[in-house]
Structure 1
Amino acid sequence: MKVLALYKQMLREAQKFSSYNYRSYAVRRIQDAFRENKTLKDSMQIQSELEYAQRNLEIIKRQVLVSQLFQVDKLIIEK
């Protein structure tokens, strides 16, 4: 349950990037990382990956804030 909540929170934060390219890259990386680690069985390794994901969530939050300071024009694909 904790993993799913973290996954959803990371995706929600990634959707806040003002740049389409950053947004799509972040979402893709989050999905790939969670998909890659879904077969983990070792509780220590799972805990380690959860801590890593939590640190990355904080990085995403900071980067979203910075990206919102420097607004760019929307791409054609976004309109």
Structure 2
Amino acid sequence: MAGSVSKGQVLSIYKQLLRESQKFNSYNFRNYALRRIRDAFKDNKSLSQAQEVQKQYQFANENLDIIKRQTIIGKLYSSDRLCIEKQSANE
């Protein structure tokens, strides 16, 4: 492994994951992704070994790439909003 992961890098990937998961068109996918990201970071916040932190950081980067691809694909197949979602003012 190249080096250890800083707290700033971990915070940055966390914010990127949350930001990208907000782009899901589907309410269910969006909420699942947000919940899963928060739970995973909460579960791993006590990691102290640099090798394990690096492994989880790499896993987060891979998942960020997956989320980016899925949001692009989701935009190709858009659907109507659910009634529990906020409606925009111009509708």
TM over 0.5: yes
Question: Greater relative contact order: 1 or 2 (C-alpha under 8 angstroms, separation 6 or more)?
Answer: 1
Q: Which runs of 4+ in 1 moved over 4 A?
A: none
Normalising by structure 2, report the TM-score: 0.85
Superposition RMSD on alpha carbons, in Å?
A: 0.5
Give 2:68's aligned residue. Answer: 61
Higher helix share: 1
1:48 and 2:55 correspond: yes
Q: Structure 1: which 5+ residue stretches go unaligned?
A: none
Give the Cα separation in 2 of the matches to 1:45 and 1:12: 25
Give the Cα separation in 1 of the matches to 2:46 and 2:65: 25
1:32 and 2:39 correspond: yes
Normalising by structure 1, report the TM-score: 0.98
Identity of aligned residues (%): 51
From the CA coordinates, give the structure whose radius of gyration is larger.
2
Aligned length: 79
Query: Match for 1:74 among 70, 81, 85?
Result: 81
